[in-house]
Amino acid sequence: MTATIRSVSPQRPDDVVIDVSASSAAVVESAVDRARGAQREWARAGAARVVALVAAADAVRKASSELVELVVREVGKPRAEAAAEVARTEAILRYYAQQIYDPEGAVHLASPPRSFALTRRQAHGVAGLVTPWNFPLAIPVWKAAPALAFGNAVVLKPAPAATACALALGELLAAQLPDALLQVLPGDAEAGEALVAQVDVVSFTGSAAVGRAVVRAAAETGVPVQCELGGQNPAIVLDDVDIEAVAQQLARAAFGYAGQKCTATRRVIVVGNAREFTDALVTAVNALPLGDPGAAETVVGPVITASARDRVRDVAASAVRDGGRVLTRRTVPDSAGWYVPPTIVDNVPPGHEMLRDEVFGPICAVIAAPSVTEAVDIANAVPYGLTAGVYTRDLTAVMDVAGRLRAGQVKINAPTTGVDFHLPFGGTKASSYGPREQGKAAADFYTTTQTITVAAP
Q: Which residues are catalytic?
A: 228, 262
Can you tell me the distance from the alpha carbon of 360 to that of 354, in angstroms, rounded to the nearest whole number? 11
Q: Which residue is nearest to ligand NAD (CB)?
A: 192
CB of 394 to ligand NAD, least distance (A): 29
Number of residues that bind ligand NAD (CB under 6 A): 29
Q: How far is the CB of 371 from ligand NAD (least distance, A)?
A: 30
Q: Are 203 and 445 in contact (CB under 8 A)?
A: yes
Judged by beta carbon, residue 255 or residue 360, the one nearer ligand NAD is 360
Which of 76, 146, 151, 206 touches ligand NAD by CB under 6 A?
A: 206
Contact between 230 and ligand NAD per CB under 6 A: yes
**Window 86-105: contact mask with ligand NAD (x via CB under 6 A):** --------------------
The verdict on 84 binding ligand NAD (CB under 6 A) reads no
Interactions with ligand NAD, residue window 417-436 (CB under 6 A): none
* Residue 69 binding ligand NAD, by CB under 6 A: no
The gap between the terminal CA atoms of the chain, to the nearest Å, is 63
Rank residues 136 and 341 by Cβ distance to ligand NAD and give the closer one: 136
Q: How far apart are CA 223 and CA 212, in angstroms?
A: 15
269 binds ligand NAD (CB under 6 A): no
The Cα–Cα gap between 429 and 77 comes to: 29
CA separation for the pair 86, 63 (Å, rounded): 9
When binding is defined by CB under 6 A, the residue of 159, 359, 364, 382 that contacts ligand NAD is: 159
Q: Does 214 bind ligand NAD (CB under 6 A)?
A: yes
Round to whole Å and give the CA distance between 404 and 152. Answer: 38
Rg over CA atoms, the chain: 23
Task: Select 9 or 134, whichever has its Cβ closest to ligand NAD.
Answer: 134
**Strands 12-21, 4-9: parallel, antiparallel or unpaired by DSSP?**
antiparallel
Among 72, 229, 238, 359, binds ligand NAD (CB under 6 A): 229
Assess 60 for contact with ligand NAD (CB under 6 A).
no
* 262 touches ligand NAD (CB under 6 A): yes
Position 443 contacts ligand NAD (CB under 6 A):
no
When asked if residue 169 is in the footprint of ligand NAD (CB under 6 A), the reply is: no
Q: How far is CA 345 from CA 30, 56, 164, in A?
A: 50, 45, 36
One residue of 99, 131, 392, 409 binding ligand NAD per CB under 6 A:
131
Based on the shown chain and the rule CB under 6 A, indicate whether residue 148 belongs to the binding site for ligand NAD. Answer: no
Across-strand partners of 120? Answer: 105, 450
> 72 phi and psi, to 5 degrees?
-60, -45
The one among 53, 130, 315, 316 contacting ligand NAD by CB under 6 A: 130
Q: Is 200 in the site for ligand NAD (CB under 6 A)?
A: no
Q: Does 188 bind ligand NAD (CB under 6 A)?
A: yes
Of the candidates 133, 150, 255, 433, which one interacts with ligand NAD according to CB under 6 A? 133
Stretch that binds ligand NAD, among 30-38, 83-91, 156-164, 394-402 (CB under 6 A): 156-164
Q: Is 233 in the site for ligand NAD (CB under 6 A)?
A: no
Which span (13-21, 119-127, 178-186, 225-233) binds ligand NAD, by CB under 6 A? Answer: 225-233
Residues 357-396 that bind ligand NAD (CB under 6 A): 358, 360, 386
306-365: which residues touch ligand NAD (CB under 6 A)? 358, 360
Q: Does 106 bind ligand NAD (CB under 6 A)?
A: no
- Give CA–CA dist 59/41, Å, rounded: 23
Would you say 76 or 160 has its CB closer to ligand NAD? 160
* By the rule CB under 6 A, 196 interacts with ligand NAD: yes
In Å, how far are 51, 164, 295, 325 from 17, measured between CA atoms?
A: 33, 7, 19, 38
Query: What residues are paired with 391 via a beta bridge?
Result: 237
Name the site residues for ligand NAD (rule: CB under 6 A). 130-135, 157-160, 188-189, 192-193, 196, 205-207, 210, 213-214, 228-231, 262, 358, 360, 386
